[in-house]
């Protein structure tokens, strides 16, 4: 599916904005600080999680607004064999907060309240931002979030397992930190829940990494470096094994103040296949090419598996590519199909996309067709 209509109210720099977009390239141009990335962030909130910035909900509301915000989108569905004039099959997604509860997320699907995890059943979104340039050298937590976004595009139920695992782990950590002997029955129940959802998380990650690594390994050489993928750190041995490991590690975890076993201790290892070198030792340009190649291959994998290509959000990507790689990127994206939102300071960066793209100019909280 593609976002054909996006409405923002009191979101970041926008008091009120409306975008009508086509099913293809959507290009937002404007000066630095004009609010281009805010639009991409709004699209990223149409899936579970905190969006491409990972910000708290309270930070997303316009500073001089009422205190809450809303992001509403209409999706273009697959062609219906018997379309009706009433618009049967259209999907409306909405999310935001109320001024009275700025950190409580509200989600509606076709006007009906829903959990945020339900969004993954309708839409998958992948993104590359300038902040991700350090993905391969920063702590493992960022790579786990990136990996889980890849998994979510293939396995929509992954969000539910992640949410329930994190909730059970926080409750277990709190119970172990309390003074006095812990309630062992409650501990065992929490550990059973962690084992159930943690094993599902680990299995889904491994399946996605294996499928994506095979696709990359067999891909032809091109302008974007091919990445080798593997999981490092904690590895799953099954549900019962994780439950036992957690039970036996209570004293250790209580002393450490955190849980030391489980999928939250796994890392995504990336290598440059052409050079046989870990990604964190590659140049900045090589790391950018690795990341691009990885995301493009994953978009192809999702399209093959589900029949729905994920929406791609590429923030300031064109500016950091030489003309040859930029042209190759646009050709690859056009051949793949699907909707791609891109930002840049100049329209000249996107020469070759043609009139079929949706061109938008962003300036001082205003978005107008260009």
DSSP notation for 152-169? HHH-TTHHHHHHHHHHHH
Show Cβ contacts of residue 317 under 8 Å, excluding neighbours closer than 6 positions: 128, 292, 329, 342
Q: Which residues of 128-154 are buried (b: 16+ CB within 10 A; e: fewer)?
A: bbeebbebbeeebebbbebbbbbbbbb
- What pLDDT is recorded for position 86? 44
For residues 331 and 360, state if they share a domain: yes
Phi, psi of 350 (to 5 degrees): -115, 25
Q: Which residue has the tokens 């004039």?
A: 85
Phi, psi of 344 (to 5 degrees): -170, 160
For residues 158 and 63, state if they share a domain: no
Q: Are 43 and 125 in contact (CB under 8 A)?
A: yes
Q: Are 119 and 156 in contact (CB under 8 A)?
A: no
Q: Does residue 315 form part of some domain?
A: yes
Q: Does residue 361 form part of some domain?
A: yes
β-pairing verdict for 112-113 and 101-109: antiparallel
Q: Which two tokens stand for residue 287?
A: 């790391």
Q: What are the respective helix, strand and coil percentages of the chain, to the nearest 5?
A: 45, 25, 30
For residues 144 and 252, state if they share a domain: yes
Given 306, 333, 354, the domain boundary residue is 306
CATH of the domain at 25: 3.40.50.300
What pTM value is reported for the model? 0.90
Q: Does residue 129 form part of some domain?
A: no
- CA 188 – CA 108 distance, rounded (Å): 35
For residues 200 and 278, state if they share a domain: yes
- CA 48 – CA 340 distance, rounded (Å): 19
CATH of the domain at 215: 1.20.1050.90
Q: Does residue 83 form part of some domain?
A: yes
User: Looking at the 3D structure of the chain, how many domains does it have?
Assistant: 2
Q: Does residue 362 form part of some domain?
A: yes
- What pLDDT is recorded for position 322? 85
Q: Are 212 and 297 in contact (CB under 8 A)?
A: yes
- What pLDDT is recorded for position 223? 82
For residues 264 and 326, state if they share a domain: no
Given 272, 306, 340, the domain boundary residue is 306
- What pLDDT is recorded for position 200? 98
Q: Does residue 294 form part of some domain?
A: yes
Residue 275 lies in domain: 135-306
E-assigned strand segments in 217-345: 227-233, 266-272, 277-278, 311-315, 340-344
For residues 293 and 320, state if they share a domain: no
For residues 221 and 251, state if they share a domain: yes
Q: Does residue 13 form part of some domain?
A: yes
- What pLDDT is recorded for position 308? 86
Q: Does residue 130 form part of some domain?
A: no
Show Cβ contacts of residue 343 under 8 Å, excluding neighbours closer than 6 positions: 27, 28, 29, 36, 37, 39, 40, 314, 315, 316
Given 306, 323, 353, the domain boundary residue is 306
For residues 244 and 95, state if they share a domain: no
Q: Which two tokens stand for residue 310?
A: 């994920």
For residues 16 and 108, state if they share a domain: yes
pLDDT by residue for the chain (370 residues), tens digit each?
799 999 999 999 999 999 999 989 999 999 999 999 999 999 999 999 999 999 999 999 999 988 999 999 999 864 443 443 444 568 999 999 999 999 999 999 999 999 999 999 899 999 999 999 899 999 999 999 999 999 999 999 999 999 999 999 999 999 999 988 889 999 999 999 999 999 999 999 999 999 999 999 988 777 888 999 999 999 999 999 999 999 999 999 999 999 999 999 999 999 999 999 999 999 988 898 899 999 999 999 999 988 889 999 999 998 888 888 889 899 999 988 899 999 999 999 998 787 789 999 999 889 999 8
For residues 169 and 279, state if they share a domain: yes
For residues 285 and 331, state if they share a domain: no
């Amino acid at each position: 599916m593609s976002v054909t209509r996006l409405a923002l109210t009191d979101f970041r720099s926008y008091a009120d904005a409306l975008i009508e977009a086509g099913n293809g390239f959507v290009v937002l141009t404007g000066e630095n600080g004009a609010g281009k990335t805010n639009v991409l962030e709004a699209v990223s909130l149409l899936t579970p999680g905190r969006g491409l910035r990972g910000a708290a909900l309270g930070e997303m509301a316009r500073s001089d607004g009422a205190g809450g915000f809303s992001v509403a989108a209409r999706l273009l569905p697959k062609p219906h064999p018997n379309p009706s004039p009433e618009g049967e099959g259209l999907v409306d997604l909405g999310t935001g907060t109320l001024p009275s509860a700025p950190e409580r997320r509200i989600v509606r699907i076709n006007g009906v309240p829903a959990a945020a995890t339900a969004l993954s059943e309708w839409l998958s979104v992948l993104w590359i931002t300038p902040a991700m340039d350090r993905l391969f050298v920063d702590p493992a937590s960022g790579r786990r979030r990136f990996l889980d976004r890849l998994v979510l595009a293939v396995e929509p139920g992954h969000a539910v397992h992640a949410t329930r695992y994190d909730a059970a782990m926080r409750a277990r950590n709190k119970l172990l930190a309390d003074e006095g002997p812990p309630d062992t029955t409650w501990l065992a129940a929490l550990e059973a829940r962690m084992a159930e959802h943690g094993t599902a998380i680990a299995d889904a990650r491994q399946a996605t990494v294996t499928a994506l690594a095979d696709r990359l390994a067999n891909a032809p050489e091109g302008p974007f470096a091919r990445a080798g993928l593997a999981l490092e750190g904690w590895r799953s041995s099954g549900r019962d094994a994780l439950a036992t490991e957690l039970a036996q590690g209570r004293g250790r975890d209580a002393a450490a103040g955190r849980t030391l076993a489980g999928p939250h201790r796994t890392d995504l290892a990336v290598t440059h296949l052409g050079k046989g070198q870990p990604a964190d030792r590659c140049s900045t340009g090589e790391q950018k090419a690795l990341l691009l190649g990885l995301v493009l291959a994953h978009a192809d994998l999702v399209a093959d598996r589900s029949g729905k290509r994920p929406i791609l959000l590429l923030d300031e990507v064109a500016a950091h590519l030489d003309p040859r790689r930029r042209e190759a990127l646009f050709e690859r994206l056009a051949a793949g199909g699907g909707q791609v939102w891109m930002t840049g300071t100049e329209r000249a960066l996107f020469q070759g996309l043609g009139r079929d793209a949706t061109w938008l100019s962003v300036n001082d909280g205003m978005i107008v067709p260009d």
